[in-house]
Amino acid sequence: MADKLASVADAVAALVRDGDSLVIGACLEAAIPFAAVHEIIRQGRRGLNAIAPISDAATDMLIGAGCVERVTGAWVGNVSGGLAHNYRRAAEQGLPHPIAIEDHSNFSLAMALMAGANGLPYVPVRSLLGSDILKTNRRLIRADDPFSPGKPVILVPACKPDVAILPVQRSDRDGNCHFWGSLVLVQEAALAAERVILLADEIVDTSVIVSDPNRILFPSFRVSAVCPARAGCHPSSLTGVWRRDTPFFVEYHTRSRDREGFLSWLREWVFDVEGHEAYLDKLGDRLERLRITGWAPPEPVNFAAV
Amino acid sequence: MGYSPREMMIIAASREIRDGEVVFVGMRLPLAAFGVAARTHAPNAIGLFENGLARFAPAVEPFDTMSDPPNIHGAAWATGMVQIMGRLHAGQVDVGFIGGAEVDRHGNVNTSYVGDPARPRVKLPGSGGAADIAATCGRLLVIMDHEPKRLVERVDFVTSPGWLDGGESRSAAGLDRGGVAAIITNLAILRPMGPDHGMGLASIHPGVSRQQAIDATGWPLAVAPDAGETPPPTEAELAALRAIDPEGFWR
C-alpha cells in the first residue's frame, strides 16, 4: 500500500498545473477545500477551469485572485451573502481579466461528471429543454432522440477534470477514505478526475476504513495525494466535525464588495498567512467554537463473513 | 393573531402542497413553506434537497444552508446529486418549489443574466438546480416578493422554463409535463389562465387592493373571474411557521 501523505502546499505544487480543469469541492455548500484554494492562490496558478455545481465563495476567490480563465458551473455566489462580487466584476467588467462561463444546471453538470467517471462520451437528458442555458453553453447540443422519433434530447458531453480536490472526514495514508453526509458529486468527481487530492480531517488506520466499506465512495487507486488538513474546509462545514462559519462568509462578502477590499482580505487571510497551520492559528478559538461536540452515531451494521 | 405580508406569502405557498406529495424544496422561503405544510395539513409530504437529502420535516436546529449538519441529522435519505436530481428527471417529483430573482408573464424565471449575456449588466449566480426543477417537476411553484422590476413582461434570459412563449410552446420545446402552477407573492397568488397560460390574478391577500397587485406587476395583469381573497392564516398555520421561525425572520 502506498504512502501518499503530503502537505497541502506540496500536493498543490506537484499536482495542480496552470491551465488545469479543477473540481474545487463537489458538495455544494459543505466540504469545500478552502485550504487548497488558498494554496493555489499563493502559488499563483493561472488559466484554471473552475468546475463545481456550487462552490460558494471558493470560485469567487480564485476569480478575484486572477487564477481562473473559465468557470464551468451551475451556481456561483456567496450562499450567506448573495451575489459573488469577483464573479460579477469579471463577467461584467473583465476585472481582473475576462473569464469564459460555461453555464450548467446541477443535473447537466452531474451527468457530465457521471459520464466522465464511467467512460460515456455523453448523456442524453430532457432537462434544459426550453432553457436559454443552451444559448450560452454551446457544448450542450440539442438532437433528435433516435428511440423516440420527433422528441428532442440534450446531449451533455462528458467532463473529465484534470484534478479534483475533496475534503473527507477520514482517510488512511493510501487514500482509502470515508465521506458521509450529503454526497452531492463527490463520488463522480473522484472517479472522473485524472488526479485526486484529499484533504483529510483525520488520518486513521486502514482497518477503520475497511470496517465500513459502504462508506467508501471511491477506491484508493483513484487518489494521488492525501493531505492531513484539519478544518481544511473552513469556513464551510463538514458533517459530524465542523459547523459552518457563516459570519466568515458574510465578512468576505462585505469586504469583497470592491476590488480594493477584496485585495486587502486576500492579503490578510491568504498572502500574509504562511500555510494552513498558520491559518488555523490565526483562527484561534474561533475554530474550536465551530467544532461539533454532539455525538449521533448510527446503529452498527454487521459485515461478518461467517 | 397579527401576521406579516411575508408570513401570509409563506402560508399561502404552504397550502399548494398536498399531503403525501414528493416536494423538491429550495432554501429560505420554499423551505419555510414546506415546513408549514409538513406541520399542518401535509404531514406525509417528503422534501427533497438538491444536495442529495430527503426529509420528512425541516430540522429543528437552526441552519443557514441546506448542507449544514442540522439538515443532514435525521434525514430520510442522504445520497448524491445524480440520485436526487434523477428523481426529478424520472418524473417522480410532484411539486417543485423555487424562489426567483425575476419572473415573467409566462412564469419563466431568470437567475442568470440581466442584459446581454456576452456583456451582462448584472451576472446573477445561475441555475443551481432551478432549471432542472422547472423543466421536470409535476407542478412548479415560484415564491417571491411582488415588485414591478421583478415581475416583468419578458425575462432577459430563461434560466428555468415556465410556459415559455405561452400556448403550446412548452410542449413544443419537448417538455412533456410540468409548468408553473402558481406564483405566490407577498400580495397575491397568480395562476396560468386560459390556453395562453399567461399568469393572472387568482387570489389577493387580505388588506391588499386589486389595484396594488396590478400596479406591482410588470405586465397587464388579467384578473380571474373567480378571483377572491386569500384566506388569512389560521392559528395553526401561524403557530407552525413561528415554530420553525423562532427568531421572527419572516415577520
The reply to whether B247 belongs to the active site is no
Nearest-5° angle of CA A154, CA A155, CA A156?
110
What was the pLDDT predicted at B9?
97
Please report, rounded to a whole number, the percentage of residues in chain A having pLDDT higher than 90.
96
- Give the tens place of pLDDT for each residue, B220-230: 999 999 999 99
What was the pLDDT predicted at B26?
85
Q: Chain B residues with CB inside 8 Å of A50's CB?
A: none
Whose cell is 434560466? That residue is: B159
- Give the tens place of pLDDT for each residue, A153-179: 999 999 999 999 999 999 999 999 999
What was the pLDDT predicted at A232?
98
What was the pLDDT predicted at A23?
97
Alpha-carbon gap: A98 to the closest alpha carbon of chain B (Å): 10
Q: Chain A residues with CB inside 8 Å of B73's CB?
A: 296
A56-77 mean pLDDT? 96
Choose from A132, A148, A185 for mutation: most chain B CBs within 10 A: A132
What was the pLDDT predicted at B80?
98
Does residue A59 sit at the B interface (CB-CB below 8 Å)? no
| Number of DSSP helices (H) and strands (E) in chain B, helices first | 8, 15
- Give the tens place of pLDDT for each residue, B177-206: 999 999 999 999 999 999 999 999 999 999
Which residue among the candidates B50, B61, B102, B153 is catalytic per the annotation? B50
Averaged pLDDT score across all residues of chain B: 95
Is the pLDDT confidence value at B58 over 90? no
What was the pLDDT predicted at B245?
86
- Give the tens place of pLDDT for each residue, B208-217: 999 999 999 9
ipTM: 0.96
Distances (CA, A) of A13 to A7, A42, A74, B166, B205: 10, 10, 28, 54, 60
Residues 139-198 in B contacting A (C-alpha not used; CB under 8 Å):
157-161, 164, 170, 173-176
- Give the tens place of pLDDT for each residue, B127-177: 999 999 999 999 999 999 999 999 999 999 999 999 999 999 999 999 999
First to last CA, chain A: 27
Cβ neighbours of A265 (radius 10 Å): 17
Is A106–B72 a contact, with Cβ atoms under 8 angstroms apart? no
Between CA A255 and CA A258 the distance in angstroms is 7
Averaged pLDDT score across all residues of chain A: 97
B20-42 mean pLDDT? 94
Alpha-carbon gap: A105 to the closest alpha carbon of chain B (Å): 5
Does residue A43 sit at the B interface (CB-CB below 8 Å)? no
Partner residue facing A106 (CB), from B67, B123, B128: B128
CB B191 within 8 A of CB B182: yes
Alpha-carbon gap: B48 to the closest alpha carbon of chain A (Å): 12
Is A180–B174 a contact, with Cβ atoms under 8 angstroms apart? no
Alpha-carbon gap: A78 to the closest alpha carbon of chain B (Å): 9
- Give the tens place of pLDDT for each residue, B96-128: 999 888 999 999 999 999 999 999 999 999 999
Sheet holding A152-157, edge to edge: A122-125, A152-157, A141-144
Is A182–B78 a contact, with Cβ atoms under 8 angstroms apart? yes
Alpha-carbon gap: B235 to the closest alpha carbon of chain A (Å): 32
CB B216 within 8 A of CB B147: yes
Peptide bond into B161 cis (omega under 30): no
What was the pLDDT predicted at A54?
82
Between CA B173 and CA A131 the distance in angstroms is 9
Nearest CA in chain A to B66: A29
Please, what are the domains in chain A? 8-105+163-287 (3.40.1080.10), 122-157 (no CATH)
What was the pLDDT predicted at A179?
98
Between CA B209 and CA B50 the distance in angstroms is 37
Q: Chain B residues with CB inside 8 Å of A246's CB?
A: 64
Partner residue facing A182 (CB), from B52, B125, B126: B52
| Neighbouring C-alpha atoms within 13 Å toward the C-beta of B22 | 17
Between CA B102 and CA B152 the distance in angstroms is 7
Alpha-carbon gap: A129 to the closest alpha carbon of chain B (Å): 6
Is the pLDDT confidence value at B27 over 90? no
Is B88–A27 a contact, with Cβ atoms under 8 angstroms apart? no
What are residue B199's phi and psi, to 5 degrees? -80, 120
What count of residues does chain A have? 306
Is the pLDDT confidence value at A149 over 80? yes
Is A130–B82 a contact, with Cβ atoms under 8 angstroms apart? no
Does residue A237 sit at the B interface (CB-CB below 8 Å)? yes
What was the pLDDT predicted at B250?
87
Is the pLDDT confidence value at B60 over 90? no
Partner residue facing B135 (CB), from A77, A131, A152: A131
Residues 248-277 in A contacting B (C-alpha not used; CB under 8 Å):
none
Nearest-5° angle of CA B229, CA B235, CA B236?
105
Is A126–B160 a contact, with Cβ atoms under 8 angstroms apart? no
Please, what are the domains in chain B? 5-244 (3.40.1080.10)
Q: Give the residue ranges of DSSP H helices in chain A.
A: 8-15, 34-42, 57-64, 85-93, 106-118, 133-136, 186-192, 206-210, 246-255, 259-266, 276-283, 285-290
- Paired with B140 in beta bridges are B96, B180
Choose from B82, B92, B157, B175 for mutation: most chain A CBs within 10 A: B82
pLDDT band at A1 (very low <50, low <70, confident <90, very high): confident
Nearest CA in chain B to A239: B69
- Paired with B103 in beta bridges are B109, B151
Is the pLDDT confidence value at A8 over 80? yes
Query: For residue A222, is it left (φ>0), alpha (ψ between -120 and 50) or beta?
Result: alpha
Is B132–A132 a contact, with Cβ atoms under 8 angstroms apart? no
Partner residue facing B136 (CB), from A88, A126, A181: A126
Strands A82-83 and A77-78: antiparallel
Q: Chain A residues with CB inside 8 Å of B59's CB?
A: none
What was the pLDDT predicted at A25?
85
Is B67–A75 a contact, with Cβ atoms under 8 angstroms apart? no
- Give the tens place of pLDDT for each residue, B65-96: 999 999 999 999 999 999 999 999 999 999 99
Does residue A124 sit at the B interface (CB-CB below 8 Å)? no
- Give the tens place of pLDDT for each residue, A234-274: 999 999 999 999 999 999 999 999 999 999 999 999 999 99
- Give the tens place of pLDDT for each residue, A98-143: 999 999 999 999 999 999 999 999 999 999 999 999 999 999 999 9
What was the pLDDT predicted at B247?
85
Instruction: For chain B, state the CA radius of gyration.
Output: 17
